[in-house]
Structure 1
Amino acid sequence: MVYTCDRDFIISKCKEYTLLNNDEIEAIIDVAKILPYFNEGFNGETFIDIKVHDADLAVVVAESYKKRQSIYVDSFLGDIIYRENEPAVFRSFDLGVTSKEIIGVSFDRHQNKIWTRQTVVPIKHQDNVVATLILEKVLDLNADEKPVVKLEPMPDNDKIDAVWGSIFGINSDNEELQLREGILIFDLTGHLRYYNQRAVKLYQELGYKSIRNQHFDNLNYSPKNFDDIIANIQGTFSNDDHDHVIIEKCYDGKVTIGEKFYRIHIILRIKKNVDVIVFIDDITEMRKYENEVNNYLVSSHEIHHRIKNNLQTVASLLRLQSRSSKDPAVKTILSDSINRIMSIAVTHELLEKKSNDLVSVKEVLDKIKHNMISFGVTDNDKIEITVKGTDFFIDSEKSTVVALVVNELIQNSLKYAFPNGAAGMIEVTTASDGKIKMIEVKDNGIGYNPTQIKTNSLGLSIVKSYVYEKLVGKLIIETGNEGTKTSFAFKL
């Protein structure tokens, strides 16, 4: 008999390939010590595999087989095991359940293929699967996969029968004529009665060489075993109900199998006989796309968060510089710059919490209003700023432009419209007419003489250039004794 239980070897491989702790490794060694007993009772080959951390691979760490009766002549210790060759091993790792009589493939030292039938039992420590015990027998298997039987024909309706057969993939190899889901139908005993070609393909990708005559519990990847599902039908029908079809959903969810993701839907169909119907669909590409979108959103949120923080840091530094300056003109310039920076930060503050690149224009304007009050643009507390009108959404680029323009207009009103601490009101109004958007900033201050406007005014230059060049919009300024109204319109 070939039997190897090398304690040091098991420990070294566990440390090399896994994150198992000492107690979990000892649990593997305890089973390895009695491996020959399994070998004798099972009358086949026995192995212990550990799963490689963060990979769809396993490693043989213990073995026992009768050399004279076995086709194996060399040790497999340290060999890498692949899911596509031994699906039972990985199913037991994935689900923590026993996998019985599942066909696998092994190779001798000359890389000749050896067909095997495996029963795999998970080795657990405190409910965690730490390794698998493989009980294996060699057999000769024709790998070609064919359905067990044809689906029962629909009575007196050849057309319906043809459609039924093509959908379930019994009469056609054309995948375009089949559902994208793999379909498995089990009888009341849990044995597979029907399946379509899509199901064969899905299980081949999981390493199954055959699903012929398999029991539900050997093919199932949902949290429910067959007894759990059958228990759901107790009391749902009687002998008098055989003329009715009762469909009761048992399970609908997503599972991870190795590096792939699947959606599994299980229902009961009750009409004279009980059928357990399983729909399984590979949603790996869909999940990858969802992950890419989520990663993009996380990255986007992080970028906007950092930009906002950096802008606020710059504003804080300028604020410190303003406090240390004794020149009123310098203080004014720094204060204006701080407000411009904070108006840009508004967009990034809103976008760091969004799932797309669109922000509410009223949210932007409310933030501008808040900044004006919070950062003391004016000492006059008799001035009220309001935001009203129709809300609409704009992208980040236009949001930044709108924020800067409105910031300049409110800032000008605060500076010049209410001299000597006069009370007043500044109204910011939004409107929307289809794709045309309009924003108006109006105060009830003293107004001004347009001919006396400084041509080199930075604030007015910003307003004009941003409206005309960035928004490709129109700008209208009206002023008089009853105040100033500035409106700009642009197209989305």
Structure 2
Amino acid sequence: MTDNNLLELCRTNTNLTAMQINLLQRIKMALPFTADLVMANIGLYVYAKQKTEFLIIDHIKPHTAYTPFKHSKAGRLRKIQEEPLIKYTIETGKSMSGKREWSWGKFIEMHTEAIFDSSGIVAVASFEMQPGVSKVEGYSYLYRTACSLLTYSHKNLDAYMFRALTSSDGIIIADKNNRIVFANTAAMRIYNILGVINLIGYHLFDHQLSRRITKETISIDKPYEKELTADSITIVRRDIPIKVGGSLLYRIIIVSDVTEVRKKDKELLIKSAVIQEIHHRVKNNLQTIASLLRLQARRSQSQEVKAALKESVNRILSISVVHEFLSQQQEEIIDVTKVTRNILNLISQNMLPPDFKLTTKFSGGTVILPSQQASNLALIVNELILNSLEHAFENTASGTIGLTITKTREKYILDLYDDGPGLPIGFEKRQSRSLGLQIVRTLIEDDMDGKFELYNNNGTHARITIPRDIRGE
């Protein structure tokens, strides 16, 4: 449930004030973390308008324990008589423990805690868990820490620090003197690798806990999180001090073994660097081929051969533009607008006389495409720009080429246009013998499953419509 939904739910079904609703919104943010901490379902109950029913404003299941019993849905109303433990706590402000039957003859443990503001009791939090969970050694410290979070949540919390836990995360609780009073199995396993057999009783800053740490990285963006390297493992340590009135109550330490994650990150970086180098070499090879073709063109006596070789050079260079972009970034995606700009620069340098004034216009945002589609589009743009330069600006000293991009939920529409005289009367693109237009049509319709149109509108417009893969964005 979002904060807006909770706000609307409370406004419609309760008499809570705006400040009380705001308090519950802040508490709600830390509930998933709290549920993971105590391995219990947590529900938030408030009086409905008539005070003959309770409104369940949130109910969270933990990620760290299996809870087979169904949890109550947020927004559901419960008669007061059906919730005696909630009723006792909301009326007295005192904690209560008992059992709830969730299936015929099957019971869960239930503990209730009052949530206060300056005017009194606002809500009740219920902690529901399987029998036996509370018998874990040191669980009382976990539970008391979770209860202190309900009070601590009166503050504005850092959502990142209170992100949900996983079953493999180590949990350590230290008291107000920073003495460890609880450590779960995952935390013990991690510190066993560091040569510490039993964490209970150690001071958090004891040299024994850090003597094998060889590297410590503190994130400026996350001041309470550190990455530690020791021997062959890498640990992320989250430090959450719980203070009330300026005094430390408990300190929650979450330790996560991220050794394999960091290994994979390193492998991906290496792989990315190799791929970037490959793209760089492909770009260089393509430019070398283009240089050889230019050399061949200069030696040829046939104007027809020279023109064909010049067109081939432009096609090769348009593909090299894509590889140049890919060699400079880690992701295998391309900004089509940037590619079009570069292709325009390349072609205009090769095809236009020095005194020709070319104006370029771009509007409508951009299109981000995977490298294969971007390579296709680079060739398409190259051919269409070549056509414009060849046919639209004869006997003129200036001209405009533009690109307008329109996005819908299902497709991209690219309109590449010039302000020349337009298509000749009776022109039919499918009957055209132009190799460039044949390349364009084949790439768009066959390779990209798109649509290609040519039409006149104060110049020639080439409209390209290609499906949009929303999953890849």
TM, length-normalised to structure 1? 0.54
Aligned counterpart, 1:329: 304
Q: SS of 1:170's equivalent?
A: coil
Q: Does 1:183 align with 2:172?
A: yes
Distance in 1, matches of 2:270 and 2:301, equals: 48
What do residues 278-321 of structure 1 show as CA deviations (whole Å, max 9, x unaligned)? 43221223323333433333233223222222222222222232
- For residue 338 of structure 1, the aligned residue among 313, 334, 343 is 313
- For residue 225 of structure 2, the aligned residue among 252, 271, 277 is 252
Distance in 2, matches of 1:386 and 1:253, equals: 48
Aligned counterpart, 2:103: none
Moved more, 312-321 or 457-466: 312-321
Shift of 1:394: 1.6
- Whether the 8 Å CA contact 2:411–2:467 is kept in 1: the answer is yes
Going from structure 1 to structure 2, the CA distance change for 1:282 and 1:369 (only over 3 Å counts) comes to same
- For residue 219 of structure 1, the aligned residue among 209, 219, 223 is 209
- Whether the 8 Å CA contact 2:242–2:251 is kept in 1: the answer is yes
Q: SS of 1:459's equivalent?
A: helix
Shift of 1:261: 0.6
Shift of 1:439: 1.7
Going from structure 1 to structure 2, the CA distance change for 1:436 and 1:207 (only over 3 Å counts) comes to same
Could you tell me which amino acid in structure 2 is paired with residue 384 of structure 1?
Answer: T
Distance in 2, matches of 1:460 and 1:266, equals: 63
- Whether the 8 Å CA contact 1:382–1:423 is kept in 2: the answer is yes
What do residues 436-460 of structure 1 show as CA deviations (whole Å, max 9, x unaligned)? 2122222232342445988432112
Aligned counterpart, 2:137: 170
What do residues 25-58 of structure 1 show as CA deviations (whole Å, max 9, x unaligned)? xxxxxxxxxxxxxxxxxxxxxxxxxxxxxxxxxx
Q: Does 1:458 align with 2:435?
A: yes
* Contiguous gaps of at least 5 residues in structure 1: 1-154, 225-248
Q: SS of 1:384's equivalent?
A: strand
What do residues 78-128 of structure 1 show as CA deviations (whole Å, max 9, x unaligned)? xxxxxxxxxxxxxxxxxxxxxxxxxxxxxxxxxxxxxxxxxxxxxxxxxxx
- Whether the 8 Å CA contact 2:169–2:254 is kept in 1: the answer is no
Larger radius of gyration: 1
Moved more, 400-409 or 288-297: 288-297
Aligned counterpart, 2:463: 487
Distance in 2, matches of 1:362 and 1:310, equals: 24
Q: Does 1:294 align with 2:269?
A: yes
Distance in 2, matches of 1:168 and 1:179, equals: 20
- Whether the 8 Å CA contact 2:294–2:310 is kept in 1: the answer is yes
Shift of 1:255: 0.7
Q: Does 1:411 align with 2:416?
A: no
Aligned counterpart, 1:198: 186
Distance in 1, matches of 2:395 and 2:223, equals: 76
- For residue 391 of structure 1, the aligned residue among 366, 372, 376 is 366
- Whether the 8 Å CA contact 1:250–1:267 is kept in 2: the answer is no
Shift of 1:202: 1.7
Q: SS of 1:446's equivalent?
A: coil
Q: 4+ residue stretches of structure 1 with deviation over 6 A?
A: 160-163, 176-179, 270-274
Distance in 2, matches of 1:439 and 1:297, equals: 30
Q: SS of 1:354's equivalent?
A: coil
Aligned counterpart, 1:265: 238
Going from structure 1 to structure 2, the CA distance change for 1:168 and 1:265 (only over 3 Å counts) comes to farther
Q: SS of 1:375's equivalent?
A: helix
Could you tell me which amino acid in structure 2 is paired with residue 261 of structure 1?
Answer: T
Going from structure 1 to structure 2, the CA distance change for 1:278 and 1:461 (only over 3 Å counts) comes to closer
TM, length-normalised to structure 2? 0.56
Shift of 1:357: 2.5
Distance in 2, matches of 1:278 and 1:386, equals: 56
- Whether the 8 Å CA contact 1:440–1:488 is kept in 2: the answer is yes
Q: How many residues are aligned here?
A: 309
Aligned counterpart, 2:411: 436
Aligned counterpart, 2:448: 471
Aligned counterpart, 1:313: 288
Aligned counterpart, 1:420: 395
RMSD, aligned α-carbons: 3.7
Going from structure 1 to structure 2, the CA distance change for 1:443 and 1:181 (only over 3 Å counts) comes to same
Going from structure 1 to structure 2, the CA distance change for 1:400 and 1:380 (only over 3 Å counts) comes to farther
Going from structure 1 to structure 2, the CA distance change for 1:338 and 1:195 (only over 3 Å counts) comes to same
Aligned counterpart, 1:227: none
* Contiguous gaps of at least 5 residues in structure 2: 1-93, 98-110, 113-126, 140-164, 215-221, 469-473
Q: SS of 2:413's equivalent?
A: strand
Distance in 2, matches of 1:168 and 1:413, equals: 79
Percentage identity across paired residues of the two chains: 29
- Whether the 8 Å CA contact 1:305–1:349 is kept in 2: the answer is yes
Shift of 1:178: 6.7
Q: SS of 1:420's equivalent?
A: coil
